[in-house]
Amino acid sequence: MDETVNNTPEKKKGVSKGLIAIIVAAVLVIGGSVAAFILLDNSAKAQYFLAEKNSLDYIGDKFEDRYQPEMDWLETSEENPTESTVELSAEYNDPNGGMGYGMGLDPSQIINNSTITLTTAADMEEKQISTELAASFGGMEIDGVQFHVTAEKILLGLPFIDEILQLKDEDLGPLLKEVDPETFTGEESMNLEQLFEGTNSEDLEYFKEEYGKMIFEELPEDAFEQTEESIKVQDHSLDTEKISLHLSEEQVKDIIVKTLEKMKDDEKLKEMIREQMALQQFGGTAMSPDADQFIADFEAGLEEGIDEIDKVSIPDGLNSTIWVTDDLIAQRDFSVKLGSTENEDTVTLAVKGTQLLEDAKQSFNYDFSYDDGYTEGTMNLTGDLSWKDNQATDTLALTFADTVLSYTGEETLDGTAREFERTFSFEDPMNGEGSLIWSGNANYEGDQMTSEHSFSVNTPDMSQDMFSLHAAVEGKTIDSVELPNEDNVKDIGSMSMDELSQYFNTEVTPQFQQWVSNLLYGGAGF
């Protein structure tokens, strides 16, 4: 008899969740990497993955066609120094008309008369970013806040001190170690260089070549079967090439093990992980120890996947069928069942649906299902993306159980000027419903751009007109980014802890207190 705790039968020990996650990730690698690999032959295997690649490329091309002005400005900002100014403001319409606040201030008076302005200059090639902040809150003015970043250092300007505070990246580690030698090694870095790195196409090409090519070559030709079949998608009858992939349990395991072994010994992959962690951890405290531990856990997890692969049951292998018309996928049916050889627990993951990719409209309807023998569920994703005569009408809906997340959008493009209204909605019987409305316009023309955005919320308890947030943006190319004069820099990274403590206690803190006093009782008249 099974032992029980609180009358709940003890579950039999099976394969770890971590291992299942690794297996699922490896299955995705099998699909994603190969789909990106450039295929040159005409076999059923090649046609299967070429259809995957063509479908992804088609959607990407349609996105670029629709948002070409924005893409052009992005390229301009990456290749030239640019300056952008963002002014944030809000509008609050008090439903009580200001009543109920006694003799105090009406919140709408402050909100409606407040702005925050961010001016940022950036030169990605020279690795320089400079930002200034100014704000006005109901007549109280704040300016003089500056933040500058290069690949070697950060600089901070504050309105209550004359000097610009400087911290070099190379000084961070020793400074942290002096603060807490038990926690820090002295090798910590802010990894400022990573802030200026864009999408690394070399990394993508590396995955295509190293993993896509390897997995493609490992897939047996006889695992694929190609036939002709007519199907109906929406109201369209399509003559398609039906291409089926079936991998047995042993074939799946063999490819997974080879993939995990390659990942475990792949020093370039580990370096790429370190770089991504460094980018995400910018502004945190301690980068390298966490990265080292993460890499160690990463290697241990891969080793676990390799050692325990025999404990995994994939009774039906991996099955995937696509229906292809005009070199694009029109229908898909994918399923894999994972479990443990030590008990009967299994998890079935499936993706099934249709898509119709046309020049003026892209439609799709997919079911993502899950069944572990105890619970089962299906998440449905539907969408219609229409772009014709420079006008867009889009709808998306993600439904799971009784919850619906949806999006509707309308856009028009006149030359380089775009107007839009986008609504993100939420519906749930337990938590109610609501919408976020994002409307505005944008114009991207050569070496300058302007845009206006308005955000508001609509719920049963809050009307769209009650509160809104506005953002006005202006951008232009500039000759160069201006950084502070080094003669006015206070290098806090070169100071000892005693020197830092004395500096902040005797100079920074008193000046800050005086500044706050003048701000509250001088400028605003409170």
Q: Average pLDDT in the 153-171 region? A: 94
Q: What pLDDT, on a 0 to 100 scale, did the predictor assign at position 210? A: 86
Strands in 93-175 per DSSP E = 114-123, 128-137, 140-150, 153-157, 164-168
State yes or no: pLDDT of 452 exceeds 90.
Answer: yes
Cα 405 from Cα 509, distance rounded (Å):
48
Q: Average pLDDT in the 223-227 region? A: 97
Cα 91 from Cα 456, distance rounded (Å):
10
Give pTM, 2 decimals: 0.81
Please report, rounded to a whole number, the percentage of residues in the chain having pLDDT higher than 90. 61
Query: Residue 336, exposed/middle/buried by CB under 10 A (0-12, 13-18, 19+)?
Result: buried
The three-state secondary structure class of 157 is: strand
Confirm if 212 and 28 have CB atoms less than 8 A apart.
Answer: no
Band (pLDDT 50/70/90 cuts) for residue 208 is confident
Q: What pLDDT, on a 0 to 100 scale, did the predictor assign at position 4? A: 37
Q: What pLDDT, on a 0 to 100 scale, did the predictor assign at position 108? A: 82
Band (pLDDT 50/70/90 cuts) for residue 168 is very high
What is the DSSP code (8-state) at residue 488? G
Domain assignments of the chain as residue spans, ordered by start:
20-520
Q: What pLDDT, on a 0 to 100 scale, did the predictor assign at position 525? A: 37
> In this structure, what token pair is assigned to residue 214?
């390897």
pLDDT tens for 371-396 read 987 888 999 999 999 999 999 999 99
Cα 311 from Cα 295, distance rounded (Å):
24
State yes or no: pLDDT of 239 exceeds 80.
Answer: yes
Cα 497 from Cα 494, distance rounded (Å):
10
**Buried b / exposed e across 129-167, counting CB within 10 Å, b at 16+?**
bbebbbeeeeebeeeeebbbbbeebbbbbbbbbebbbbb
Strands in 171-235 per DSSP E = 224-233
Q: Largest Cα–Cα distance in the chain?
A: 83
Q: Compute how many other C-beta atoms are within 10 angstroms of the C-beta atom of residue 498.
A: 8
Band (pLDDT 50/70/90 cuts) for residue 286 is very low
